[in-house]
């Protein structure tokens, strides 16, 4: 019998042994930048056959959260569209209303670029709220256009201009 040292416990994930290296980060840099630096450092490490390196923890949780939010926002946009079709009893008006959403997304991207802010959970939630505000504004505008056209007998262009001025 030979006496040796061994680990106090063996960590496993998905039935595979793993070695966990914990890293504390400061709030001075975004997590995505730190992860990019770690990935670059990991690329230079020679990994033996049967081993692999991966980043987990907060970054993995963030990716899962973003995935769920992306599905949620597409589902929400579809459900809003469906409700608008039923409420307005038309397909044309909801399509016109939903065309405002891409412009909101362009505005979000431009604001993030100008401010130098990363696309994080807070900005994602803000974008979802913005989509709701934009859709609400578009509903009011389209309803106003329809009302002006029926009340004052104006053409489409004139009604759009007048509704834009009144709003």
pLDDT in tens, 120-139: 878 888 888 998 899 999 99
Residue whose structure tokens are 């692999």: 52
Residues 6 or more apart whose Cβ sits within 8 Å of residue 75: none
Contact present, 97 and 146 (Cβ < 8 Å): no
Q: Which of 33-42, 55-64, 133-142 has the highest mean pLDDT?
A: 133-142
Residue for token pair 């063996």? 10
How far is it, in rounded angstroms, from Cα 112 to Cα 120?
10
**What is the model's pTM?**
0.66
| Number of Cβ within a 10 Å radius of residue 34 | 17
């Amino acid at each position: 019998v030979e006496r040796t040292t061994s680990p106090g416990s063996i960590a496993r994930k998905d039935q595979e042994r793993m070695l966990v290296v914990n890293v504390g980060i400061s709030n001075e840099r975004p997590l995505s930048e730190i992860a990019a630096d770690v990935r670059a450092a990991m690329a230079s490490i020679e990994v033996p056959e049967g081993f692999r390196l991966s980043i987990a923890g907060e970054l993995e949780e963030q990716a899962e959260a973003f995935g769920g939010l992306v599905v949620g926002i597409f589902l929400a946009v579809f459900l809003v569209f469906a409700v608008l079709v039923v409420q307005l009893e038309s397909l044309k008006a909801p399509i016109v209303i939903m065309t405002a959403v891409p412009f909101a997304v362009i505005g979000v991207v431009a604001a993030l670029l100008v401010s130098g802010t990363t696309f994080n959970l807070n900005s994602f939630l803000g974008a979802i709220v913005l989509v709701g505000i934009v859709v609400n504004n578009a509903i009011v505008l389209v309803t106003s256009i329809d009302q002006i056209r029926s009340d004052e007998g104006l053409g489409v262009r004139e009604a759009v201009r007048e509704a834009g001025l009144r709003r």
